[in-house]
Amino acid sequence: MGGFRTPLGRARGLGAAKSGVGHFIGERVSSVALVPLVLWGIWSAVGLAGGGHDDAVAWLRSPLNATLAILLALTGFYHMQLGMRVIIEDYVARHTTRSALLILNLFFCCLAAVLTVLSLLKVAVGGGAY
């Protein structure tokens, strides 16, 4: 989430080495977590394919499935925010457009993460029938 400071602000503060690798490390660590989570996600998607609402609800009410689905969502939306940030920084040169897109990307990923996790939790712990 860092990186909004100006070069001068950074130079006056603690220096780039204090936070400059934050994006790099965040992208790598989330990618390590996503290797097993995505493989599990693909395997789960195959299992759920062709099933109805009841099957999916029963699947998500298993605590293990709910936990892994929420971790996949949180790690995935975090990782994609970092990745899309680099794409925007590489291709959008105009300062105002670039800042607007970076903020839009951040807000959208946060919105998507909360929406997905809340939806998953509602089914996983909500109880009752549909």
Does the protein bind another protein through residue 17 (CB under 8 A)?
no
Q: Quick one: which H or E segment has residue 46?
A: helix 22-48
The per-residue DSSP string of 50-89 comes to: T--HHHHHHHHTSHHHHHHHHHHHHHHHHHHHHHHHHHHH
Question: Among residue numbers 39 through 78, which ones bind another protein (CB under 8 A)?
Answer: 39, 41-42, 46, 49-50, 52-54, 56-57, 60, 69, 72-73, 76-77
User: Which residue in the set 31, 61, 68, 106 belongs to the binding site for another protein (CB under 8 A)?
Assistant: 31
- For residue 82, what are its two tokens? 């970092």
Does the protein bind another protein through residue 122 (CB under 8 A)?
yes
* 44 backbone dihedrals φ, ψ, rounded to 5°: -65, -40
**Distance (Å, rounded) from C-alpha 67 to C-alpha 69?**
6
Q: Which residue has the tokens 């105009």?
A: 94
Residues binding another protein (CB under 8 A):
3-4, 6-7, 10, 28, 31-32, 34-35, 38-39, 41-42, 46, 49-50, 52-54, 56-57, 60, 69, 72-73, 76-77, 80, 83-84, 87, 89, 93, 95, 98-99, 102, 112, 115-116, 118-120, 122-123, 130
